[in-house]
A and B are shown apart, each in its own frame.
Chain A
Amino acid sequence: MVPAESEHTGDGAVETQEQQQGGGSPVATDGEHLVDLYKKMVLIRTFEEATQRGFRQGKIGGYLHVYIGQEAVATGFLDAYKDGDKVITAYRDHPHVLLLGSDPKAVMAELYGKGTGLVKGKGGSMHLFDVENGFMGGYGIVGGHIPLGVGFAYAQRYEETDNITQLYLGDGSISNGAFHEAVNLSGLWGKDGMNPCLFIIENNQYGMGTSVERTTAMTDLAAKFNAYGVENEKVDGMDVEAVLEVAHRAADRVRETGKPYAVEALTYRTAPHGAADFFEKYRTKDEIKQWRERDPIGQLEHRLIERDVIDEDGIEEIKNEMKETMKEVVRFAEESEEPPLEELYTDVYTGGGVYTGEEG
């Protein structure tokens, strides 16, 4: 799989333009807003690079899945987040929680297995949570979180709110039964306006090391939603401005109708699948190079300079600032204490009584 030549890919681009002309909800992508998005993407990239170093040094255990190359997707979509909305994703979950406002120190401390971590050292990289900020979790079983998000959306309408759920899923989950069962329910409940769920497929072309072509004969992942009566489109997930436009339009529509909608963001993980995925036998250096040329941060940087929104010194300043911030973040994680052993038996059950692990 190589990157598409046009900025927008597939039929989605056409629909996007038509809908923009039709009124939609144009997004004011003024310079300041774009610089803000740029900073967020640099935060994610810098954070992820720091986690890779931590993993190589043996300070981060378990699995580590980074978002390098995909930053424009979550950054663009979460720009449409409103208070009370819910967000759920699989295990490549660092960017979502950072974008929703979690303290990077607490996120890094979680990866370092510390008591100051976002979930007290109980979940690690794959299970970040920040319920107060709308983040309902990272989940480790491919496809397994999708039904939960559909349930969130039902509850949002059951309680008569106008909130929505942003449900992120990878291309790897599309062949899983949980995906099909959940999207079917979402379409069905949406008929009654009971499922304000925005599905965001982060199609980074590979489920671990297996390309989309090697997992399904019908590779148009957005179109899979047609089977369940869920309208959908595609977007160039390397272009944050394109993502931003679709994100706001789709989120508004879902919020208004209570019906689900799906967007397939075509993107690419330029980093390995997991930090332990050294050899990458499944893709060529040339392919990675071609996608790198369309790096979402590089693209935006180029545009910001071209449009005189910021100059190269300004870019350099942002990057340096983020590096300094990240040093603090890592220092905090390193210096934090491990969780107290008493935490072993907490949070298993709730609602009275002390649980000691002795059932009888």
Chain B
Amino acid sequence: MPEMTYREALRAGMAEEMERDEKVLLMGEDIGVYGGTHLITDGFLDRFGKKRVIDTPIAEGGFTGAAIGMAMMGLKPVVEMMTWNFSFLAADQIIQNAAKVRYFSGGQVEVPLVIRGPNGGGVQLSAQHTHSLENMYGHFPGLKVVSPVTPNDAKGMMLTAIRDPNPVIFLEAGALYGTKGEVPEGDNAVEFGKARVAREGTDVTLISYGRQVNLCLRVAEKLEEEDDVSAEVIDLRSLRPFDSETIVESVKKTHRAVAVQEQWRWFGVASEVASIIQEQAFDYLDAPVVRVSGAEVPAPYARNLELAAFPSEDAVAKAARQVLYQEVSA
């Protein structure tokens, strides 16, 4: 199977849909002449022309709103949020218009819109440029929220996102744009609302999404080597809609679960995971579900502080040992 980077996978997804469907167009800051801050759309302007590859001013609310308007007219805009940190400026448009207009119009319009860009931190961008916004956008009915971590899912979920007649918040693992993975040729559309078992195991379930999935996979190896513990790793990849079934089935098998997220603990995705498990698999649990989250501080700059602010292998391993009663909690 051919390998491609996460970046190439996103590019392939968008380019294929643009070839297939004239109604697909791209908008965003520096996506055309410059080729995209992260070079995701490099070459697209020459290939598709300025009518379909629109360089915008730095005005997230304005261009996101215009994209929503285009979508309501039947176009399929894919908006690049240079980073999701800037989406606060567009939050009124995303939440008040994109998420709700279908409902308050009594079903008279659709908003086939994708907003994509890098989410999360890890590259020393400090406080204003480091957020994980899956819980914020996942909170609003009317939006779909996905967070692929493998190149295969990056492309396959992009295809699905563009074809979806609803607004999709597409959270990319920005720190992984250069990582490689296998991507089959042709249409590999990945259905939303289906979690992926990234590693099978029998003793404990590590549940995550985005770049923390890779962390969980490393921890699983470590647990295997050091403790002879078999950890299952679940990549949620779609946060709204959400796949409870895969988690619950896994916990019924392992009886223990750790939910890992880069974002802050309070009101986060991991809390939702823990709640679903206690509601649907309470009798199967041998230990309370433990959450591993980012530190409750704005993201710091210094490398050592930044590392301390995100979930680490040690923290996840410790949590796993805690639910396995191999380590007593502090």
The residues of A with any CB-CB pair to B shorter than 8 Å are 86, 117-123, 127, 129-131, 136-137, 139-141, 144-152, 154-156, 158-159, 177-178, 180-182, 184-185, 188, 192, 194, 346-351, 357, 359-360
Q: A154-B69, A185-B57 are in contact. Are A147 and B62 (CB under 8 A)?
A: yes
Q: List 10 A-B contacts (CB under 8 A).
A: A117-B106, A122-B104, A122-B106, A146-B65, A148-B72, A150-B69, A181-B65, A184-B57, A185-B63, A349-B144
**Bound-complex Cα distance A93 to B275 (A):** 43
Q: A147-B65, A151-B73, A194-B51 are in contact. Are A123 and B109 (CB under 8 A)?
A: no
> Is the Cβ of A152 less than 8 Å from the Cβ of B97?
no
Stretch of B206-214, B241-249, B298-306 at the chain-chain interface? B241-249
Output the nearest chain A residue to B92 by Cβ-Cβ distance. A144
Any chain A CB within 8 A of the CB of B142?
Answer: yes
> Is the Cβ of B61 less than 8 Å from the Cβ of A136?
no
Q: A144-B93, A150-B66, A185-B62 are in contact. Are A346 and B241 (CB under 8 A)?
A: no
> Is the Cβ of B59 less than 8 Å from the Cβ of A184?
yes
Within 8 Å CB of B245, what residues of A? 360
Output the nearest chain A residue to B106 by Cβ-Cβ distance. A119
Any chain A CB within 8 A of the CB of B75?
Answer: yes
Smallest beta-carbon distance A182→chain B, Å: 5
- Which residues 61-111 of B have a CB within 8 angstroms of A? 61-75, 92-93, 96-97, 101-110
Q: Which of B65, B67, B74 has the most CB of A within 10 A?
A: B65
A-contact bits for B136-148, CB 8 A (1 contact / 0 none): 0000011010000
Q: Which 4 A-B pairs have the closest CB atoms?
A: A151-B69, A147-B65, A181-B62, A360-B244
Q: A147-B64, A184-B62, A185-B57 are in contact. Are A158 and B51 (CB under 8 A)?
A: yes
Smallest beta-carbon distance B109→chain A, Å: 6
> Is the Cβ of B103 less than 8 Å from the Cβ of A141?
no
> Is the Cβ of A152 less than 8 Å from the Cβ of B72?
yes
Any chain A CB within 8 A of the CB of B166?
Answer: yes
Any chain A CB within 8 A of the CB of B271?
Answer: no
> Is the Cβ of B68 less than 8 Å from the Cβ of A148?
yes
**Bound-complex Cα distance A72 to B82 (A):** 44
Any chain A CB within 8 A of the CB of B320?
Answer: no
- Which residues 131-174 of B have a CB within 8 angstroms of A? 141-142, 144, 164-166
Within 8 Å CB of A150, what residues of B? 62, 65-66, 69
> Is the Cβ of B102 less than 8 Å from the Cβ of A347?
yes
> Is the Cβ of A147 less than 8 Å from the Cβ of B73?
no
**Bound-complex Cα distance A270 to B165 (A):** 43
Any chain A CB within 8 A of the CB of B315?
Answer: no
> Is the Cβ of A347 less than 8 Å from the Cβ of B103?
yes
**Bound-complex Cα distance A185 to B55 (A):** 11
Known: A141-B96, A181-B62, A347-B107. 6 other contacts (CB 8 A): A117-B106, A151-B65, A151-B68, A182-B66, A347-B105, A351-B164
**Bound-complex Cα distance A138 to B68 (A):** 15
Within 8 Å CB of A177, what residues of B? 61
Q: A158-B25, A158-B51, A348-B103 are in contact. Are A360 and B62 (CB under 8 A)?
A: no
> Is the Cβ of A350 less than 8 Å from the Cβ of B166?
yes
Within 8 Å CB of B68, what residues of A? 147-148, 151
From B57, B66, B72, A136 is in contact (CB under 8 Å) with: B72
> Is the Cβ of B97 less than 8 Å from the Cβ of A144?
yes
Output the nearest chain B residue to A147 by Cβ-Cβ distance. B65
> Is the Cβ of A151 less than 8 Å from the Cβ of B105?
no
Q: Which of B51, B57, B66, B164 has the most CB of A within 10 A?
A: B66
Within 8 Å CB of A184, what residues of B? 57, 59, 62
Within 8 Å CB of B110, what residues of A? 350-351
From B63, B74, B102, B244, A350 is in contact (CB under 8 Å) with: B102
Smallest beta-carbon distance A96→chain B, Å: 14
Within 8 Å CB of B116, what residues of A? none
**Bound-complex Cα distance A133 to B67 (A):** 22
Output the nearest chain A residue to B73 by Cβ-Cβ distance. A155
Q: A123-B105, A144-B92, A151-B65 are in contact. Are A348 and B141 (CB under 8 A)?
A: yes
**Bound-complex Cα distance A140 to B75 (A):** 24
Output the nearest chain B residue to A150 by Cβ-Cβ distance. B66
> Is the Cβ of B65 less than 8 Å from the Cβ of A129?
no
Within 8 Å CB of B66, what residues of A? 147-148, 150-151, 154, 182, 185
**Bound-complex Cα distance A137 to B66 (A):** 15
**Bound-complex Cα distance A194 to B75 (A):** 14
From B108, B240, B242, A131 is in contact (CB under 8 Å) with: B108
Smallest beta-carbon distance B222→chain A, Å: 30
Output the nearest chain B residue to A146 by Cβ-Cβ distance. B65
Q: A120-B107, A178-B65, A360-B276 are in contact. Are A351 and B102 (CB under 8 A)?
A: no
